[in-house]
Amino acid sequence: MITPDATSPTVATGSAEDVDGFLDALRSGQAPEGADALRAEFLSTVAEVVTAPAGSMDVVLSSPQGYSTHGFTLSRAGALRRSRGTTSQEEIALHPMTVLPGALLRLVGISPVEASESSVIVEAEDSVVDALFEADADARSAAWRSVTAAMASLPSSARKDLEDAEPRAARVVRHRPEGSRSATTLMLRGRYLLPAEDSVDQVHGTTPTGAARAVMTALLR
């Protein structure tokens, strides 16, 4: 059964099976199990989103110690986020479309870290970067070992706290009828890097603004 969040009226949690049943019931116009515990406005808005979707977006967050997926269903009524980590427990949340860009940047975790020149290059095979976002834990671990070894070529950060920060990666894929657009960001040793557009098997330095711009481009274009 879906359980409302104690601190937010627009968030609820449940097992993957519970969330599937909840959304299927709303799509078919039925009252889902446990509906009495949820706010009527939350139920009606989620129903509007899932019965009249206008697009979708997937976000995958990865680090050596963590992994989570976040699927967004987009509609005029709002954006429904469905998030899952490494357990069977899931979270669903509603976001007004007007605040979706900010919510996405917070989810991806764009931070005001040290800028890196675009001339800074780290050799990382495209297939290895892709494997950072694999559901298979062994494949992800192998990819992170490769990326961690490669990031030793980065110049030292001016701040030790950034130098020692856990590496992380994010991939945003916006699905549209005409095709999908994606953005991939990596933060290694406290600096953001993006896949090089004009070459393969490399990521290059960027600023926090550049990383945020890449994410917003995937969302809005």
For the whole model, what pTM was predicted?
A: 0.94
Integer Rg of the chain from CA: 19
Give the pLDDT band of residue 212 (cuts 50, 70, 90).
very high
- Tell me 85's DSSP state: -
- The overall longest dimension of the chain from CA atoms, in Å, is 58
pLDDT tens digit string along 10-19?
Answer: 999 999 999 9
Residue 78 in contact with residue 101, Cβ under 8 Å?
A: no
pLDDT over 90, % of the chain = 81
pLDDT at position 182 is 96
The residues spanned by each domain of the chain are: 3-108, 121-220
